[in-house]
Chain A
Amino acid sequence: MNIEGVKISEILERYPAKPEYLIFLLQDIQKQYGFISSETMEQICDRTGVPLTQAYSVATFYQSFRLEPKGEHEIKVCLGTACHLKGGPRIVNELERRLGVKAGETTSDMKFTFDTVNCLGACAIAPVIVIDEEYHPNMTAQKLEKQIKTLGQDMTEVSEVLGHA
């Protein structure tokens, strides 16, 4: 695999070939490819000498690892304590309703992956959501509707352009 110019072997060689670097590798691979495929997992295990089952048990123990590809847009809703008190759960419900998926899942058209996180350190503007790394303060159902619509439109524009190309 060779995405965005970084070869998987390059990542594998970043760290000494020891079991203690398993988590480092999982993180770097995920950062590069968005998820950890079964082939890369095998390569990681070859490199670190960690048995495959153990690597999977580590990957599933930690919430940040994904074994499935991510959608094109990532929406994270903060459910830290401050955001919880200020309406975070309402945003989660709305998103679940609008996207038709539960937290942690990706829409079937692979457009959106939606997940919840704990305190983002921006409690002053709770409830907060993060769309593709960009923070959106004082979120309401109304604002959410707009955001999703814009993203949806972006996507149609992009696919139109691609379609015409």
Chain B
Amino acid sequence: MPKENVAIKSENWRLNSHKDLNDLQKDIIESRDPNRLEVVVCHGTGCIANGSPKVSSAIRESLLGAGINVKLMPGIKTTGCHGFCSRGPLVIVRPHGFFYQRVTPKDAEEIVKKTLMEKQPVERLLYKNPKTGKTILTEKEIPFYSLQERIVLHNIGKVDPTDIKDSIASGGYQALAKALCSMSPEQVVKEVEKSGLRGRGGAGFPTGRKWRSALKAIEKKGYPAYVVVNGDEGDPGAFMDRTIMEGDPHAVLEGLIIGAYAIGAKQGYLYVRAEYPLAIKHLEIAMEQAREYGLLGENILNTGFSFDARINRGAGAFVCGESTALFTSIEGKAGNPRPKYVRSVEEGLWGKPTVLNNVETWANIPLVIEKGADWYSKIGVPKSTGTKVFSLVGKVNNVGLVEVPMGIPLVKIIEDIGGGVIGGENFKAVQTGGPSGGCIPYSLKDTPVDFDSLTKVGSMMGSGGMIVMDKHDCVVDIGRYFLRFLEEESCGKCIPCRLGLIRMRKILDGFSSGTGTKQDIDDLISLSQALQDGALCALGSSAPNPILTTLKYFNNEYLSHIENHKCPAGVCKELITYSINADKCTGCRSCARQCPKQCISGDKKKPHVINTENCIRCGICMETCKFEAVIVS
């Protein structure tokens, strides 16, 4: 990656005061030409998967081939996920801010010629508002972005996550300097308490209160104490924490160091899911750079405060996101939760007082400290302050990462930011909170998205997965999905969880194969009760949520499986049949070629038929047909 070619005088020297940091920031900013062209290419996971690395190299090649004077050569910067993944690969040209979407390597030459040399936008790559048909020039004007409040994500898509100078230029480590140089640890804790910040990892526990309990535990037990980042992100439909760690690792680190200062911890741990190698790499680079600049390690900013941290890679166990399991995993053992008669803040890692917070929670800390609790607590609603990042996925037009103020009505996220459901109908349900959350039906579309309102409707905030379901998604199926997931991930330590989950899943299997009875519903409810009451950790005790909410809001759909042996959404294999609509079938034979059972027949260019006897209802024909001739009933 070409770094900007600026000689910063403070290169390779330690920052020894807040003033040093300010000087460095000024230096970096001044050494940059604000009019210099810069091509920003999204290298978030979604865009990479869509081929953005090929786009950036194509642009680089075109630039080299265009014979531009080296001094005027535009920079190419790769960043973390910009959020609008469904329009990726994304390319933004600064300083104009032209926002190009669905860019392919073939477009590189035109971008170079038209935008970088002639300063004109490439019309066809611009975003077109599907509702108004109007072409939009810059990111700021696109509803997907303009309706969000991106404060935690503010750097992502702007800074190069592997260059600390880029972070410092955009205000990174200012909060740390403020805390260390002009606030006492007590003042830091007070500020966090006053901000109303609640944990973003799921349960919404007030962060300030957690830090306060840690201080109390330290008073009793003494040091050492630890601070830990929970980057295990186990929710199977979410990638917020990943994006933050990949796209702005310094924000997480800065938050962590501030937390360490607040409670007097000397050692920190970042527990990161094994499947996130890029996040691990970026955090490692960030830590190394922070050490070089005197922002991590011995005598930070020459204040006498020393703190260091290390990364622990997870090893593929969902339950390790749970606090006590996470601690045992860091200790090198199998991650089994333990009963919490003693809270994990008091007896955490190595049995010592430990503050464990989620990635996004930590990334909020610099904001709280730098801008102050008063500023922070004005965002959102009184009992859920600030913003929340969601991964908005499923059957919605604008799939990606969104950050909104707490308390925003659900429908606003789905319709206004998300652009509504693909195909234009209303959503059927929105699943929040992952395997511990629930399905919120369209009738509750105005539910404010904050901790307490979501709990009230039977779901929960969770870590921030938001999955939009449409009429083709079956609630029995999604319930089975989560139960199966939890069944595989249960550590098996306690009976209600180990056996209850299997039993519940089997009941749902019965529904989806048409052998369920109404009695089963009662059994499901009592099993749910047993899990809620008897499970040791929240994996088990919150597992019934997806089932209980769907039973409550989509009872008819369950009954239809039980009484009519029908799956209205057309998902549960044993209750559906595929057939071909003769009016639409062109006889192209593509389904017949794909059918693994060879049970589709017909003459070329004539309507085909499915032999339902051999059909295994794999659905490949429906997926293959370009004319929507295959119907499911």
Contact = CB atoms under 8 A, between A and B. Distances in A.
A58 B334 contact: yes
Given A58-B334, A85-B395, A142-B594, A118 B242 contact: no
Interface string A12-48: 0000001111111011000000000000000000001
Nearest to B473: A85
A70 interface: no
B236 A80 contact: yes
Contact of A124 (B46, B242, B330, B469): B46
B331 A20 contact: yes
A142 B478 CA distance: 25
B329 interface: yes
A133 B431 CA distance: 29
B313 interface: yes
Nearest to A79: B236
Given A85-B467, A141-B624, A61 B317 contact: yes
A81 B315 contact: no
A27 B315 contact: yes
A117 B242 CA distance: 15
A125 B46 CA distance: 7
A97 interface: yes
Given A22-B332, A62-B316, A120-B275, A81 B465 contact: yes
A140 B623 CA distance: 7
B88 interface: yes
* Range for the number of chain B residues in contact with chain A: 35 or more
B494 to A, nearest CB: 16
B620 A94 contact: yes
B467 A82 contact: yes
Interface in B299-351: 312-313, 315-317, 329-335
A141 B623 contact: yes
Contacts of B335: 61-62
* Range for the number of chain A residues in contact with chain B: 35 or more
Contacts of A54: 333
A47 to B, nearest CB: 12
B49 A135 contact: yes
B394 A81 contact: yes
B568 to A, nearest CB: 16
B596 A97 contact: yes
A124 B88 contact: yes
Interface string A126-147: 1010000001010011100100
A81 B467 contact: yes
B421 interface: no
A85 B469 contact: yes
B46 A119 contact: no
B389 interface: no
A103 to B, nearest CB: 11
A101 B235 CA distance: 27
28 contacts: A20-B331, A23-B313, A26-B315, A27-B313, A61-B334, A62-B315, A62-B317, A62-B334, A62-B335, A64-B316, A81-B393, A81-B394, A81-B481, A85-B395, A90-B619, A119-B236, A123-B85, A123-B237, A123-B239, A123-B393, A123-B394, A124-B393, A125-B46, A125-B85, A128-B49, A137-B50, A140-B623, A142-B624
Given A81-B236, A124-B88, 14 more contacts: A23-B312, A64-B316, A65-B316, A81-B465, A85-B473, A85-B478, A86-B394, A97-B596, A119-B237, A122-B46, A123-B85, A123-B399, A125-B50, A141-B618
Interface of A: 18-24, 26-27, 48, 50, 54, 57-58, 61-65, 79-82, 84-87, 90, 93-94, 97, 117-126, 128, 135, 137, 140-142, 145
Interface of B: 44-46, 48-50, 81, 85-86, 88, 234-239, 242-243, 274-275, 312-313, 315-317, 329-335, 391, 393-395, 399-400, 431, 434, 465, 467, 469, 473, 478, 481, 485, 491, 590, 594, 596, 618-620, 623-624
